[in-house]
Amino acid sequence: MNCKQVQRLLVPYINGDLDEREEGEFVRHVRHCPECYDELEVYSSVFAGIRQLDGDETKVDYRTLVEDSLKTSEEDVLDVRFWHVYSFLLKIAATAALFFLIMRGLF
């Protein structure tokens, strides 16, 4: 993902509208790109300010806003990866068990 793509996804990211793949790539880029990090900081502050004015959020820590958001995203992406691997292994185990049962039934 390049800077242009990240800039386009700033608002969807803040609104939580990215899928897990996009979110993972977005966070990886922002972690290594100071310009996009700064941009995210500005957007996050503006959006948090608007939510605060709307009364949706009462207390916002602007110093840790972006860090908290990026950490949450990284944890979410890790969780999703874990479940993908877990469900993949579970399917293999289920298939092996089924195969074993069929083979036993035939012989």
CB of 3 to Zn ion, least distance (A): 3
Q: Is 33 in the site for Zn ion (CB under 5 A)?
A: yes
CB of 8 to Zn ion, least distance (A): 11
Stretch that binds Zn ion, among 32-40, 43-51, 54-62, 65-73 (CB under 5 A): 32-40
Q: Is 60 in the site for Zn ion (CB under 5 A)?
A: no
CB of 44 to Zn ion, least distance (A): 15
Could you tell me the CA-to-CA distances from 32 to 5, 13, 70 in Å, in that order? Answer: 15, 17, 12
Q: Is 48 helix (H, G, I), strand (E, B) or coil?
A: helix
CB atoms under 10 Å from CB of 25, counted, come to 16
Q: Do 38 and 14 contact (CB within 8 A), yes or no?
A: no
CB atoms under 10 Å from CB of 10, counted, come to 18
Task: Considering the complex, state which of residue 1 and residue 65 has its C-beta at the smaller distance from Zn ion.
Answer: 1
Q: Is 1 in the site for Zn ion (CB under 5 A)?
A: no
CA distance 16 to 100: 44
Task: Considering the complex, state which of residue 33 and residue 80 has its C-beta at the smaller distance from Zn ion.
Answer: 33
Q: Is 106 helix (H, G, I), strand (E, B) or coil?
A: helix
Q: Is 36 in the site for Zn ion (CB under 5 A)?
A: yes
Q: Is 3 in the site for Zn ion (CB under 5 A)?
A: yes
